[in-house]
Chain A
């Protein structure tokens, strides 16, 4: 039973990590807590669903297209909402509140367009294979989630650590003004970041839609709460921290259910969050907050 629970935890944790990745990226570079990330995650799920249902695209192509679509929505949100606030030098709270509004609009829009009920990918479009080793059951979708999440995480990490682009982004994270003076196209990279973060959120949405058959306009909200917990645990803006914290939250939740009680699952997850905020507000690994400050 423990082996099965560890597999459950790994697939759940990977989704949390992937979702939190885009969330923490935007915070790291733009310094904005983008609370519309949950809604964009939801739209990614719907985009893939529509493409599979109406254009009969193969799944991998639908996923790429959905990432592109959610990326563009993220870009639009940046252009219409975040940029004017940046231009006006609005205090930190303003973009956060504004993105709550964006989330409400996007959620209502999705509800108007697609209805409130749960949708699922049509039968036959998702690989239904599952593999058994003794009493262990692993589905192809679970393996897919873990593999795709890790690939996306490692790509992002490599870009941030090893490339000129990543260096520029890290410079902006340090100080947008200094980066601008160094000749970095700060505004352009803000757009790129919003695009990439939303695309990652969209990818997480597709994976969640695939594995849990629960695509609804409201799927972003609970995920957003988990995402907030993850980026605080991992240290705000810390990409590697978000990965580890996402997996950690998945394991904490599943093991709580397995060995304590399912009644305490969220209590443990959010209790950890509270503890971290009290004891180590910069996150489990964090120097990021201190450096930013």
Chain B
């Protein structure tokens, strides 16, 4: 209790004593809450890179209406509690105009209500779970929901391999993998594809052989995997060790070069749907990939691409509003300008779409974007033709 009060009064104290960090008057402060340490750091670091790259680009081109964009980056460690603390800090102490993040859907469910209560836009670039934008009108995301991607992916996979029945494996204690499972379950029912068996595992598990042996006995044509990359890589390897040859079908979580760092060639024939692909050779995407490689010396992934686009979306919205200097008004002006923004970015054509209505509650905005279906060949994902 006392800690909470302290958190609330801390920014006031800082102001009163004149300790609040002095920033150039024409800087537009944008907060970023990302998991820079902890198990989700592989996503968070890519996200941070995507944002810094885009911010540098915007600033190098003279900023937005003459104002430079300043990213205030905080580590939320992929934990709910930290995400709440970081959101509070960015909103009340740093006085950010908007907050990007947090990295995991799990954390977003904890932190986004704070932004909504403070009337500050919380902009997720990697939150794909159902119900994120139902939390309030200030929740936005440019991450495409699994509910939009997975039906397309499943249909393409069924057609490609002539699949009659599938088995499912998923992580049952994570908001992202659980939500992906729910979507898959609905999708499979809609497309009338029988499920031979459904197996779950828990965060931190490394041995999946018991579940996979059970899946093997049910002899499915393919295995649907709602998993994070590294778990998926391990699951694929152990499936092959058990002498099974079924292809895998998955979502967003599988979309990382990491999958092949661990699974190598065993990952081939995996079908994955995502909003971004390195093989998608639009001019905007090519430019993004080249710039990312030049700045960070490594290949970008989907999370960097979505972060990169998110900053350009916000920059486009800022272009259309005149900042008054009154923080409360400017925050609301940004919230009102955002829904109309459309861009053609690294992830392709993008627009916002009002989230499905929830009775008695204002809702936020989801991404309206086409999913790209990929297949793994020779240790990387290529477009499924």
Contact = CB atoms under 8 A, between A and B. Distances in A.
Q: How large is the interface on B (under 10, 10 to 19, 20 to 34, 35 or more residues)?
A: 35 or more
B206 A219 contact: yes
A55 interface: no
A118 to B, nearest CB: 4
Nearest to B217: A1
Interface in B213-255: 213-214, 216-217, 230, 233-234, 237-238, 241-243
Contacts of B210: 5, 8-9, 12, 253-254, 257-258, 262, 265
B113 to A, nearest CB: 27
A263 B230 contact: no
A208 B205 CA distance: 11
A118 B230 contact: yes
Contact of B213 (A5, A118, A208, A261): A5
Contacts of B199: 257, 262
Interface stretch (A58-66, A154-162, A209-217): A209-217
A137 B243 contact: yes
A60 B36 CA distance: 36
Interface string B166-208: 0000001000000000000000000000000001111111110
B283 interface: no
Contacts of A130: 241, 243
Interface in A236-293: 253-254, 257-258, 261-263, 265-266
Interface string A132-157: 10010101000000000000000000
A139 B209 CA distance: 12
B155 interface: no
Interface stretch (B258-266, B303-311, B352-360): B258-266
Interface residues of A, number: 39
A213 B237 contact: yes
A151 B237 CA distance: 27
Contacts of B207: 8, 11-12, 211-212
A136 B301 CA distance: 38
Nearest to A12: B207
B211 interface: yes
A116 interface: yes
A183 interface: no
20 contacts: A1-B216, A8-B207, A8-B210, A8-B213, A9-B210, A116-B37, A117-B258, A118-B258, A130-B243, A137-B241, A212-B206, A214-B206, A214-B230, A214-B262, A216-B39, A219-B204, A221-B204, A262-B200, A262-B210, A263-B172
Given A8-B210, A116-B37, A261-B200, 12 more contacts: A4-B213, A8-B209, A116-B38, A118-B230, A118-B233, A222-B203, A222-B205, A253-B210, A257-B210, A257-B211, A262-B199, A262-B210
Minimum-distance CB pairs A-B, first 4? A222-B204, A212-B206, A116-B41, A257-B210
Interface of B: 37-42, 172, 199-207, 209-211, 213-214, 216-217, 230, 233-234, 237-238, 241-243, 258, 261-262, 264
